[in-house]
Each structure stands twice: as C-alpha cells, then as structure tokens.
A and B are shown apart, each in its own frame.
Chain A
Amino acid sequence: MDVEIEQLRTGDRTAWDRAFEVLYAISLSVCCSTASSMNHHEQEDVAIEAVTEVIDYVERVNSFEECKRLVVTISKNRLLDRFRSKATVKHGSGQVESLEQQEGFEAVDAAQPRPDALVLAGENLMILKRALLGVPEQYRRVVEESYLNGLTQQEIADKLGLKLGSIGVYLDRGLKALKQNLPPGWP
C-alpha cells in the first residue's frame, strides 16, 4: 500500500484514496487505544478531522511515512482538545479537571503505545481489512459473522441460510484464503 508523497501533492485522487484508508485506520487505532470509552461517533469525528488536517501538511512533509506519524500526533491533540473542552463545560470557567482524572482518557505513560506502534497497528488493521475483502464472499461472510460479530455456528447457519455442517468448512476455507491474502509474516 505504497503512497507517493508527490502524487498526494498533485492531488491525485487515487493516491489520496489509498492514503485516506491508511491514515484513517491509524487515527482510529489511536482513538480507540487512547480514549477507549469515548463515543464511537466522536472517535470517528476525531479520526476524520485528523486525516483532513494532514491534507494541509502534504506540501511540508517529505514522505508518506511522515504523514502517518503526523496523523497520530494530530489525533492525540484532537482528543485532548475534546476532553479539555468537555472539562471546561463541566466545571465552569477556571476549573479544569486534570486529564488523568477524567474518565475514559488513558494517561500518557509507559504503558501507552508509542507513535510508531500506533502507526503499525493502524497499518496492520488496514492490511487485514483489505485481505478480508479479498476472501470470496460466501466464505468471508461466515468468517465475519464468526470472528467479528461473535455468532455461533448455529446462528450463522440460521442467519445465512446455510447447513450447520457447512459452516466449519466455510470457516476453514475463509481463513485459508485470508492467510493467502496477507503478506508473509503478518502481523
């Protein structure tokens, strides 16, 4: 999923499509690991705002790798802004609750994933998503229902109108196809 910074600078829509996928996945990973209890819609908003802001920086950065690190920083800053703004509203002017005290915001400490780790997590997520999209649909749906939605084999058979005995086979084939679509050594 290589994206050339030059292509982004010229406004190449195809390059930006690919860039958006990676940057959004990274930003979403940051939001989920840093502010896990935040409303999903808010996390989504933060991720979109962060990715949007990266567009302004393409002229100033040297590579797409920098864009990835930048989106981590911007996402974190946006999250902080949101928490600060909430704290101000909550306590009135002059009384701002420290971020560590705030529910749902994990304080920055050694346990927090480092920016590079967050970039990697986001990239791996997008690689997995793309690999999953490459699995034949009949198998993919069974894999998604099983591992993403947590349905039992009986529930999957009922939902998709398949025989119970075939679900195991479909799962097996789906996982094999997924493995083939993933780069060697992933993650």
Chain B
Amino acid sequence: MNDEEKLKLEQELKKAAPLLQRLGEGNDPLPAHVRARLNAALDRKMPLSNQQAAIETKLATTRRQDTGREPSWLEVWRGWIGLATAAAAVVLFVVLNQPGPNLPAVIQVAMLDSVGAVRGEGEKPMETLQQQWKEVKPQEFDDAAKLKRWQEEWPTDTRQPVVKVVYDRDTLELRVKIRTKTGGLLEKSISLAKPDDLTKAVSEATSFLRSNAK
C-alpha cells in the first residue's frame, strides 16, 4: 500500500467513523439490540414454524412419490440384509439368555466360633458339617467381622447357584443363604436348642437347599 492509498483509506475511515461507530463494536456488523429487534420482527412476519411446515410438506410429498414407484434391486437387497441382521440378533439374544443345564450349586460352608479352645471336647461341629458336605472344606472364623465379609463375597465367575452355610456356634444358629441362577437371594435360619441338635439342623438345611438351590 503506497502513501496515496493509505491517505485515501484514512480519509474514508474518518468520513465513515460516525456511522461505523453506530454499527457496534462486537464481531457482528450490527449492534446486538438492533439484530434482536430485526430478528423478532422477522419471526413475527415469517414464523419459523411455517417454514418448517413447508419443509415437512415438501418431504412428505417426496416420500409419497417414493412409495408410488417400484423398489430397485439395491433396495430389495438392503431389505433382505436388514431382515437377516435382525433375525441373527434375535437368535443371539435367545442363545445368550438360555438357562443352560442344571448345574450343581456351589456350596461354601463356614463356622463362627469366637470362644474356640476354651470349649470342652464334647461335640465336634466341624466334623458334622464336613460329613454332610464332603466335597467342601468348611472354614472356621473366630471373628464375626471376618465372617461377615466372607458372607458378602459371592463368586462372580459362575452362573451356577451359590450356597453359603454358616454355623454360628456362639448363638447356636445355622444360617443358609442361596444366590439363585437368576441372582435372587433366599435365606433360612435354623435355631438349635442345644449344640447336639446340629445334625438335625443340617438335614433340615439340606432339604431346604434341595428344593431351592436351582
């Protein structure tokens, strides 16, 4: 830009300055309030809904025209592929949600005995429990908090029913908790009148498991 051009531009700027200032300072060539008033007037006189309605009408006409003609081979194939995909999805869903074979329940057995060695040599509850559930090694807890944690830990890698059998030697209570295949929880608590009643309570628990651990 030479001096002459620069001078001319400066003159134009100075001449237009009063009006340029009135066109606002922001990045919009119009002041915001002017733009807002003009847009409001436009919305009043040419409501957008009418415009949208016109677009909708146009689209509906196009759709109507489309439905009146024969579908092309490409559209037919698209339809078949879509149908096949949907059918495959349904089959997959059904297969994944199959209940599967009746697998045996996972059984976990534990006993709480906070008194421990102080007790006499009389009854042997661990042996009774082991005798009933031979394939399971019963765990022994001397702390109620630890037992509680154990009771809340359910195996996550199985879809079989899971059973937790707890003999609380302190309160003379045999508790059975079942998590079914569908994730539901069932509980049964059997109180013992005296420690010797454990065998009877265990057989009662077993029949409860037989009818519910599915």
Contacts and interface: CB of A to CB of B under 8 A. Distances in A.
A139 interface: no
Contact of B22 (A16, A44, A48, A126): A44
Given A51-B38, A52-B38, A179-B1, A28 B6 contact: no
Contacts of A147: 10, 13-14, 17
Interface string B68-110: 0000000000000000000000000000000000000000000
B19 A28 contact: yes
A75 interface: no
| Size category of the binding interface on chain B | 20 to 34
Given A10-B51, A21-B29, A132 B42 contact: no
Interface string A140-181: 000110011110000000000000000000000001101100
A2 to B, nearest CB: 16
Interface in B23-61: 23, 25, 27, 29-30, 34-35, 37-39, 41-42, 45-46, 48, 50-51, 54
Nearest to A132: B20
A176 B46 CA distance: 42
Nearest to B37: A48
Contacts, number: 91
A25 B153 CA distance: 76
Nearest to B23: A129
B18 interface: yes
B12 interface: yes
A136 interface: no
A126 to B, nearest CB: 6
Contacts of B117: none
A52 B41 contact: yes
Nearest to A33: B19
Contact of B45 (A28, A56, A175): A56
**Interface majority SS on B: helix, strand, loop or mixed?**
helix
A3 to B, nearest CB: 14
Name the residue in A10, A29, A52, A149 with the highest tally of chain B Cβ atoms < 10 Å from its Cβ: A52
B118 interface: no
Contact of B16 (A16, A51, A125, A150): A125
A125 B27 CA distance: 15
A11 interface: yes
B17 A148 contact: yes
B185 interface: no
Contact of B34 (A48, A124, A132, A187): A48
A28 B10 CA distance: 22
A120 B19 CA distance: 14
Contacts of A29: 19
Contacts of B16: 124-125, 128
B46 A20 contact: no
A108 B42 CA distance: 32
18 contacts: A10-B51, A10-B54, A20-B30, A25-B29, A28-B19, A28-B22, A32-B19, A52-B41, A52-B45, A125-B20, A126-B23, A126-B29, A133-B29, A147-B14, A148-B17, A176-B1, A179-B5, A187-B12
Interface of B: 1, 5-6, 9-10, 12-14, 16-23, 25, 27, 29-30, 34-35, 37-39, 41-42, 45-46, 48, 50-51, 54
Interface of A: 10-11, 13, 16-17, 20-21, 24-25, 28-29, 32, 40, 44, 47-48, 51-52, 55-56, 124-126, 128-130, 132-133, 143-144, 147-150, 175-176, 178-179, 187
